[in-house]
Structure formats: C-alpha cells, structure tokens
Chain A
Amino acid sequence: MSRSTQTALVRDDRTVYEAVAGLTVGLSGVAFALALAALFDVVGIGDPVAGVSLSVVFGGLLLALGGAVVGFGVASRLGYVDTAPQPSAGVVAAAAFTGVWFAIGAVVSGALGLGTVARLGAGTALGGVAFVTTAFPREDIGSTVPAGLLAGLAGAVLVSGAVGPSWTQPLSGYNATLFGDIVVPAIVLFASLVVGWSAAKAYGGFGARGRNVGAYVLIYLVVGSILTVLVGLVAFVTTKGLPGLFNGFGVGGEALIRWPFLTNGAGLLADIAGVFPALVGTVWLVIGAVLFAVPTGVGAAVFLSEYAEQGRFTSVVEVATNGLWSTPSIVFGLFGAAFLIPRFGNQKSLIAGMLTLGFMLLPLVLITSREAILAVPDEYRDASAALGVSKWQTIRSVVLPAAIPGVTTGVILGVGRIAGETAPILLTMGGGVLPAKSAAPNVLSGFRLSASPPFVSNPALLEATSALPYQLYALITAGLSGNIRNPQEYAWGLALTLLLVVLVFYAGGIATRYYFRQKLHQ
C-alpha cells in the first residue's frame, strides 16, 4: 500500500481501509438507532422491508458488520494495512468478552435443551475461549474477532428466524414471558454497540488513537440512547395527554379562548371535566413552600457560612441537612399530619401542605445556598472590608447578589421534586378527588382582617385542597370517574398538565438565574 504523503506526524490521505471502517461505524450507529426505535414501537420488527421482515434485515446487517470487523482485524494482523496496535486488547476488554461469551454459551446451550451442568460447562468453555482470544493475541485480533463473531452469531440467529417477531419464551420460575419484539431490538442494540466500538478502533488504527475513537463511539451511542429515553418519555406523556388537555379547546366565541380542561372543575355540572381546582392547588402549594423555604434556608445558609465558626457544629448541621433531603417524603407527610394538622384547625388544609412541602424543600435550599455563598470569592469580602463596610452590609450587597444564581438553581431542583409529591399531600391537605370548580382555593381574595387575634385570617388556606399529583393518584388507584366520560384521557391530560406546571416553574427559575448571571457578568 503506497502512501507517499504519509509521515509519522501527518495523516492527510484516507485509505480504503479507513473508509470501510468509517462506513462500518456509521452502519452500526444506524442499526443502534433503528433498534432503539423498535424498542419504543416506532417501527415494528415484523414490518416487511423489501420482502423480508425488519428482524431479518437486522440479522443480515449484523452478519455483514461482524464479518467486516473480523476482516479489519485480520487485515491489520497480516500487515496489509498500516496500524499501530498494542500487544494486547487489555484486561477490561478481555473480562467483558469473557462475561458476554459465558452468557451466550449458557443461553444458547439452554435453548438447545442441555441441563444446568452442561450449560455451565458450555458457558465456561466459550468464556475461556473468548478470554484467550482477547487477551493473548495482538490488539488488532483481540478486539475485533470476539466482537465480530458476537455480531455474526447474533445476525445468524436473526436471519435464521430462530429468534424473530413471533418468538416467545416463557421464563420458568417467573410469571413472565419474553417476547420477540423486545428481545430482537435488545440483541441488535447490544451487538451493534460492540461491533461499533470494534470498528471504531479499527478506524483509528488501534493503539492509543484507536482506543480514543472507540471510547468516543461508545460514549456517543450510550449518551444518544439515554437522551432518546428521556425525550421518548416526555413525548409519550405528551402524545397521550394532548387529547385530554385540548378536549373542547377553542378560540373565539364569548371568551377569547375556551380551554375547559384547565378552567373547569370535575363536578357533576361541568360539561367537560377539568383540573382547575387541582391546578390552582398545586400552584399555591409550590408558591407557599417556596415562600417558606427560601428565606429560612438562605438565612440559615448565611449564618452557617458567614457567622458560625467552621467546625463540629457546622459539620453536624451539614450532615443533618443532607440526611433530611434524602428523607422519604412520606415521613415528612406523617410529621405534617401529626404536628401541623392539629395546629391548623384539626383538618387537612392547604397551609399544612404548604408547610410540609416547605420543610421538604428547606434542606435543599440550605445546601445549595451554602455552596453558593461559599463559592463567592473572599476577595469581594476583603475589598468590602478594606473600604470600611460592615459585615452585614457586605453580605447584603456583595455576597448575596453573587450567590443568587446558585440559590436559584437549588430552588429550581427542589420545586421539581415537591410539585410532584403525592404522599405528603395525601396526609396533610388532600381534598376532593373530583373537586368541582367552586372547590378551588381562593387565596388572594380570601384574606380577612379582624379586630381580635390572629387579626388576619384566610379561610382558603385552612381548607382541604386538591392537587394535581394527588388527583392523578386517586383517579388511578381508586378508579373513580364521576361524570368524566373518558377517565383514561382525563388522567393523561392531568399528567401532562402536571409536567407543564413543573416546566413553567423551571422556566421561571431559569429566567431568574439567567437575569442575575447577566447582571453579574456583563
């Protein structure tokens, strides 16, 4: 192979070998993505593609990819191409391939009807061979041949139809059955991941550069699948929830926008059942919890990081707050039920829920505020002190403004958690499962002044109130439906509304953080 421009430092021409290896990496990525899509039912593995089912196409693709990868290794070992392999593929690759091939041996021999001892024997034998093949030859053989054979075997199984769309396998000992439409994408996902990694190493010419490229491909594929799962989750809830959310939605008429799902209650008289009382309840709940937790949490953080001497006391407080943040929410709920409810009119109430969730939010606000305050450079404090400015004024006008973005991040994270909490609401504030519109808490106009203590009262705060996660929980577990025509659609719409409420709070928090960051750095 003549590479006239090739020097040790400069690689400016692309060989056929590299081109084919790059193509192999790309095809592995395509197989990976298709398998993910099949796992999420976007495409069916039984769908015919050019006359054969997708499952068989997958098999053929894997066969070709496996063959190509083995070819890269052999070509490199025989010296047909210019690579820089290391003496061995390494202990991690060897251990991984041993484990994988052990599992393959055990599963395949089991499928052929062998007993337990024979399956263990077959697994051990295959694992041993894989270990020897990976660990002892040079890297170009060790990291391609086991991977290529793996993909080849998977491809052969799929092409032969031994595992296909209609394949099922009852799991003995478990009350469950494996289906082909899960197993086939899983096999393809795994095989394409391994073969993609191997082909990427070949593309990089093995050695340090090859390992680098291989690691990149692995990371990109894994990150891609995680993102797909996250996006898939949101998309799933959105598609399921949209019909419910926009049930009866219209523009024009007497009101500018008619959106019954958000503006109606679920009472008997509502023509289209909505979530208005629960939505208002959740919004007030979050506002109340934040109003309680942010001043107290930030105040405690200021004391702990600026005034208290760093030592045993502060570290005990730190451990305690970390512990509180990981305390299960039902414990907070019990505390609220046993401690707060008797003090607020002996019935479940909005304010009991607000305070309970406020207690839950407090540790996170404290932890993140403390981190943010400690991260403010000491130079600011020195500069302020050198100008003769007192400690409290320094904290107020220099330290806290610089810490606001960090504090906001903590509040954003915390709101996401408490807005979806069900258990504490169940115990401290839960109102009707299917509240009519009139049951919505009217906090703003509910304040009453009186001449006797407590001087200010707000009946809305002392009433049992519904909230979105609580209503969702009640609908699904209790199976109540009232006059809701399509409870399933209603519940999904409710879930989407909850998701949107949390997102709106997020957006508000992120905007706040962005505003203060801009102010600090521009």
Chain B
Amino acid sequence: MSQTDTAESTANRTDGQGVSTTAGETVEETRSEWTNYDSDGETKVAVEDLDVHYGDDHALKGVSMDIPEESVTALIGPSGCGKSTYLRCLNRMNDRIRAASVDGTVELDGEDVYQDGVDLVELRKRVGMVFQSPNPFPKSIRENVSYGPRKHGDIETGLLARLTGRAEPEREARLVERSLERAALWDEVSDRLDDNALGLSGGQQQRLCIARCLAVDPEVILMDEPASALDPIATAKIEDLIEDLARDYTVVVVTHSMQQAARVSDQTAVFLTGGELVEYDDTEKIFENPESQRVEDYVSGKFG
C-alpha cells in the first residue's frame, strides 16, 4: 500500500466523522495529517481503521498507524486512553477477553492478522509480548527461556526424546545462552540456570521475560509498560536493552513515562482520553513542537 493511498483514506475517514465533540464541550478536532506520519523505514505493521469495543465501551476509535521496521515506537497517553488495547490488537491478545470485539485491519508484512484462518501460534511467535509486571513461570531460568521453543516442538527435551536419541541439549543450551545474552542477563545468571526464576530480582525477571520472548525468534516485540514495576536502575537497563533490540527487531513500547518515551523511541504516538490517536510523529517533533494543542499540554504536563 503506497503512502498516498493511506493518506487519502485516513483523510476521508476523518472528514466523514466531522468535528468530534463530547457532551457539549468543544474539543480540539483531530486532524488526519497529525497522525499521517511517514517514517523512512519499511512498514512492518500497518494498522487501518482499528475500532475496539469492550461490550458497550468504545475503547479504540478508528486508529490508523503504520509502524516502521527495526525501530522503537512509543505509545504514550493517560490511563484508559487505549494504548494497551492497541498494543494487544497487534498479536491478538485481545481475543482472550470475551467481551472484546475488534474491527479494522492489522497487517503484518502485508498480511491481515484478523482474517479467517490465521494461525495464532504462528502470529504470536512472530509478534512477541512483554508484560507490565514481570511474569516468569515458577520454573528454572533455563526452562523459562526454552519454554516457547519446547512447546512449539522446535527443541525436544524430556525422557522420551532422550530415550529415542532426539534430545538436543547442546542446541537448547546454545539457544538459552543466546537469548539470555541478547537480553543482557547472561552474565548475571550463567552460573545458576537451574535456579527458580522467582528468585531473581524484579529487573532480572523482566529481562528474563524478554529473553523468553526472544527465544522464539520474533520479528516484532510488544512491550506493555515494561519498566513501570521496576526501580530506576533496573529501568535504565531495560531502556538500554530496548534501544539495543531495535537494531534487529521492531519494538513497540507502551509507557506512562514521557521521559522514557523521549529517551528510547524513534517515533511516538500520543493517545488521548476516549481511545483516539491524536498525533504520531518523530519523537523529537512530538516532544518539542507538536501540532496538537492537547498533545502539547499533555507532554508538558498540563493535562492528563
């Protein structure tokens, strides 16, 4: 899809909706050119007219936004603005909420992930996710990292595999080491891979979760406020890691911290209350010279 097409369709939609006002209070109109951001990179994920309802609650309103490859895209906005909802649409984690209904298209490398017949296992292997609070399994560090590949049958371990000679302990060890190294955790845990993961500190647990996600070799990594439960030092490590990961992966990170968005991201999308995407542009532009008055108020701390 060419950039011009996207621009036109976005413009048409917004014109059709007209001025958005709520309860008699005049709200600044959202202009399509504010969200019509053209990055230099190839588009990895293209989202078009995405609407999400949780029952009667309209959580996301007609969001269109293209995420470029091998970069960090930050989603910021006040609580309840729909940024996590947006994120969870990209790997269809919203399917797990019964009341959620999703309209619109989400394309991963040009393929609609919401069409019939999509293999969720394959989709989630390609689009990994890291959650807000660290959630390692109550298993050993090694088992945590190799969990995904094992369950997908990429690595065979266990008694039967050993008996039939199909076990590949070296391959598993290599995978674990590579994933942990990539997540900047190897040096801290290499001598205790068989310890329970719950014995690690919060920051280490979160990096373990990132390693667990990397072990299935994803293309896109979604992070839902990955550092909000961590102390400043652990946060700094996660931020360094995010910047580093963007060399090979497409990273989309939801954050409450505007400083964090400014530090790590290449482009930033601002969601404001009501589930609308207000502005999406280079991070520098968003934080220094936003087009929207509401975004300017928000990033300067006057609103939200």
Is the Cβ of B120 less than 8 Å from the Cβ of A522?
no
Q: Of residues 285 to 302 in B, which have CB atoms within 8 Å of A's CB atoms? A: none
Is the CB of A230 closer than 8 A to any CB of chain B? no
Within 8 A of A (CB), among B120-142: 120-125, 128-129, 131, 133, 135-139
Whether B212 sits at the interface, judged by CB under 8 Å, is: yes
- Mask for A255-275, Cβ within 8 A of B = 1, else 0? 000000000000000000000
Q: A393-B151, A398-B137, A520-B138 are in contact. Are A386 and B198 (CB under 8 A)?
A: no
A389 to B91, CA, bound (A): 13
In residues 214-249 of chain A, which contact B (Cβ within 8 Å)? none
State the CA gap A521–B151 with chains docked (Å): 22
Q: Which residue of A lies closest to B143 (CB)?
A: A397
A388 near B196 with CB under 8 A, answer: no
Chain B residue with minimal CB distance to A391?
B96
Beta-carbon contact of B135 and A387 below 8 Å: no
Is A390 an interface residue when CB atoms closer than 8 A count as contact? yes
Q: Which of B256-273 contact A (CB under 8 A)?
A: none
Query: Which of B122, B137, B152, B198 is most buried by chain A, counting CB atoms within 10 A of its CB?
Result: B137
Known A-B contacts A398-B137, A521-B196, A522-B195; the reply to A387 vs B91 at CB < 8 A is no
In the complex, what distance in Å separates the CA atom of A266 from the CA atom of B245? 76
Which of B125, B131, B152 is A382 in contact with, Cβ under 8 Å? Answer: B131
**Which single residue of chain B is at the shortest CB-CB distance from A383?**
B135
With a cutoff of 8 Å between Cβ atoms, the chain A residues found around residue B120 in the complex are 388
A402 at interface by CB-CB < 8 Å: yes
Asked if B147 contacts A386 (CB within 8 A), the reply is: no
**Are A522's CB and B137's CB within 8 A?**
no
Q: Please, how many angstroms separate the alpha-carbon atoms of A520 and B139 in the complex?
A: 6
**A387 near B124: Cβ-Cβ < 8 Å:** yes
**Chain A residues, CB < 8 A from B137:** 380, 383-384, 398
* B124 and A385 contact, CB distance less than 8 A: yes
Which residues 88-135 in B have Cβ within 8 Å of A in the complex?
91, 93, 96, 120-125, 128-129, 131, 133, 135
Contact indicator A389/B196 (Cβ below 8 Å): no
In the complex, A519 Cα to B124 Cα: how many Å? 28
Are B147 and A388 neighbours in the complex by a CB distance under 8 Å?
no
- Please name all residues of chain A whose beta carbon is closer than 8 Å to the beta carbon of B213 when the two chains form the complex: 386-387
The 8 Å CB contact of A386, one of B122, B124, B199, is B124
Question: Would B129 and A386 count as touching, CB distance under 8 A?
Answer: yes
Report the minimal beta-carbon distance from A407 to chain B, rounded to whole angstroms.
Answer: 15
Interface residue? A13 (CB, 8 A): no
Interface size on B, residues (CB 8 A): 30
A520 touches B122 (CB 8 A): no
Across the interface, which residues of A come within 8 angstroms of B124, CB to CB?
Answer: 385-388
Q: A388–B138 contact, CB under 8 A?
A: no
A379 contacts which of B93, B131, B195 (Cβ < 8 Å)?
B131
* Chain A neighbourhood of B195, CB < 8 A: 522
CB-contact partner of B121 in A377, A380, A388, A402, under 8 A: A388
Minimum CB–CB distance from A390 to chain B (whole Å) comes to: 7
**Contact of A385 with B96 in the complex, beta carbons under 8 Å:** yes
- Whether A382 contacts B151 by the Cβ 8 Å rule is no
A382 CA to B123 CA, complexed, in Å: 15
Q: How far is the CB of A121 from chain B (nearest CB, A)?
A: 69
Q: Is B184 an interface residue (CB 8 A)?
A: no
A388 B135 Cβ-Cβ under 8 A: no
Nearest A residue to B124 by beta-carbon distance?
A388
User: Closest CB of chain B to A307's CB: distance in Å?
Assistant: 13
> Contact partner of B122 among A388, A393, A401, A402, CB < 8 A?
A388
Bound: A385/B123 CA distance, A: 11
Q: Which of A342-394 contact B (CB under 8 A)?
A: 377, 379-380, 382-390, 393
Among B120, B122, B138, find the residue whose CB has the most chain A CB atoms closer than 10 A: B138
Given known A-B contacts A388-B125, A388-B148, A520-B196, A383 and B216 have beta carbons under 8 A apart: no
Of residues B122, B133, B152, which shows the largest number of chain A Cβ atoms within 10 Å of its Cβ? B152
Out of A386, A387, A389, A521, name the residue touching B138 (CB < 8 Å).
A521
A387 near B196: Cβ-Cβ < 8 Å: no
Measured between alpha carbons, how far is A377 from B216 in the docked complex, in Å? 23
Q: In angstroms, how far is the closest chain A Cβ from the Cβ of B220?
A: 12
- Least CB distance, A400 to chain B, in whole angstroms: 12
Q: State whether A385 and B148 are in contact (beta carbons under 8 Å apart), knowing that A379-B131, A379-B135, A521-B138 are contacts in the complex.
A: no
Question: Given A379-B131, A383-B131, is A390 in contact with B93 using a C-beta cutoff of 8 Å?
Answer: no
A386: B residues at CB distance < 8 A: 91, 93, 124, 128-129, 131, 213
Closest to B147 in A: A387
Q: State how many angstroms separate the Cβ of B88 from the closest Cβ of chain A.
A: 9
Q: B96 and A382: CB pair below 8 A?
A: yes
**Does B155 lie at the interface of the complex (its beta carbon under 8 Å from any beta carbon of A)?**
no
Confirm or deny: B209 has a beta carbon within 8 angstroms of a beta carbon on chain A: yes
Cα–Cα, bound, A519→B151 (Å): 20
Can you list 8 contacts pairing A with B, beta carbon distance less than 8 Å? A380-B137, A382-B135, A383-B137, A385-B124, A389-B121, A389-B151, A519-B196, A522-B195
- Report, nearest first, the 7 A-B pairs whose CB atoms are least far apart: A388-B124, A379-B135, A386-B129, A387-B148, A520-B138, A388-B121, A389-B151
Q: For the A-B complex with A388-B148, A389-B151, A393-B151 known, give 12 more contacts whose Cβ atoms are closer than 8 Å.
A: A379-B131, A383-B135, A385-B96, A386-B124, A387-B125, A388-B121, A388-B122, A388-B124, A388-B125, A388-B216, A397-B151, A401-B138
